[in-house]
Amino acid sequence: MDKLFFSEEHIMLVNMVADFARSEIEPIARELDHESRFPKDIINKMGDLGLMGIPVPEKYGGAGMDTVAYAAAIMELAKVDASVAITVAAHTSLGTMPIVISGSEKQKKEYVPKLASGKMLGAFGLTEPDAGSDAGATKTTAEKNGDFYIVNGGKIFITNAGVSGIFSFTTQIIENGENKGIGAFVVPTDIDGLTIGPPEKKMGWKASDTRQLFFENMSVPEANMIAEPAEGFKTFLKTLTGGRISVAALAVGTAEIAYEKALRYSKERSAFGKKIHQFQPVSFKLANMATQIEAAKLLTFHAAWKKDQGLDIAKEAAMAKLFASEVAMKTQLMLFKFTVAMDM
């Protein structure tokens, strides 16, 4: 795997992220989760290390590394704390990249260096009660009024919504009563007409900030548009496609750590005079999950590599996200059965 996709630079990054995660995040990860507390200090430190803008071009303050490096970093973070991993992934893939992909030069210079340095977090408003994977079903509207657009509607399940400085969002563009299609804007989170809801109560990833956004006659300058109606749909499809790689990487990371814990426990636990990993049903489960995790990792890095070659990755990114997330669930369920069912 390393020789297939990784350069020396990739390996150095992976080692650095792994060391940081173990020394800085792991000691407080359980506490953060129990308290549903956003890890602000951790994010600030990661910004200082250049981890909040790994795939962002250097000219805009990023590390200028490739998608393979970014996916590898997310995997290492997810092994220790998925809340931190999804915070970084949503900030980078969804909060920053729409501006990098389609923003004007002025918007890029104004926002991206702050985002890439971690001095400001970003969020992306796409999901609505009736729109998400079906992104074209967006019901939020932005009606043109002179040099402004009046936005009404809302978004749900928005990662980083309560801790970000800016967010981009998709909306139907209305001009002279005619629907021109889907466009996108970037706005600061202190804009009039925006209400950010309370943190969602979740079963997991509790240290990740997730909230609703409500738009009521929110007046947005035309200059804040990052994608015209003709390009808006394409922009967020590209955003979502790239984001699927980071989600797949996160899933692989959580699967790997669950497998490592299950394997370790199977070598510690004894039953009927043997360590349980010596029983064929247990060893078969472990072997099967190890195989699936490796396949998920290959799918993820293959999609990342193709993206770095400038190739179309819509299929590969979707396959990686689907397979890796299913493998993550299966692996964690295996760990649960190994440990909880055996009084651990």
Judge whether residue 344 has pLDDT over 50: no
**Whole-angstrom distance between the N-terminal and C-terminal Cα of the chain?**
33
Is 263 in contact with 331 (CB distance < 8 Å)?
A: no
Pairing mode of beta strands 166-175, 148-159: unpaired
Strand, helix or coil at 62? coil
Indicate the residue type of 196: I
Is 10 in contact with 68 (CB distance < 8 Å)?
A: yes
Read off the pLDDT of residues 316-343 as tens digits, 9 standing for 90 and up: 999 999 999 999 999 999 998 888 755 4
From CA 231, how far away is CA 149, in angstroms rounded? 17
Q: Could you tell me the pLDDT band of residue 229, with boundaries at 50, 70 and 90?
A: confident
List b or e across 208-240, with b for residues whose CB sees 16 or more CB atoms inside 10 angstroms.
Answer: bbbbbbbbeebebeeebbbbebebbbebbebbb
Domains of the chain and any CATH numbers: 2-116 (1.10.540.10), 122-232 (2.40.110.10), 235-342 (1.20.140.10)
Q: In the predicted model, what is the mean pLDDT of residues 186-212?
A: 96
From CA 139, how far away is CA 152, in angstroms rounded? 9
Is 113 in contact with 166 (CB distance < 8 Å)?
A: no
Q: Output the six-digit token pair for 308.
A: 């770095």
Strand, helix or coil at 325? helix
Q: What percent of the chain has pLDDT over 70?
A: 97
Pairing mode of beta strands 141-145, 166-175: parallel
Read off the pLDDT of residues 104-150 as tens digits, 9 standing for 90 and up: 999 999 999 999 999 999 999 999 988 877 777 889 999 999 999 99
pTM confidence score: 0.94
Q: Could you tell me the pLDDT band of residue 8, with boundaries at 50, 70 and 90?
A: very high
Read off the pLDDT of residues 259-305 as tens digits, 9 standing for 90 and up: 999 999 999 888 899 988 989 999 999 999 999 999 999 999 999 99
User: How many other C-beta atoms are found inside a 10 Å radius of the C-beta of residue 250?
Assistant: 27
Read off the pLDDT of residues 39-51 as tens digits, 9 standing for 90 and up: 999 999 999 999 9
From CA 150, how far away is CA 216, in angstroms rounded? 8
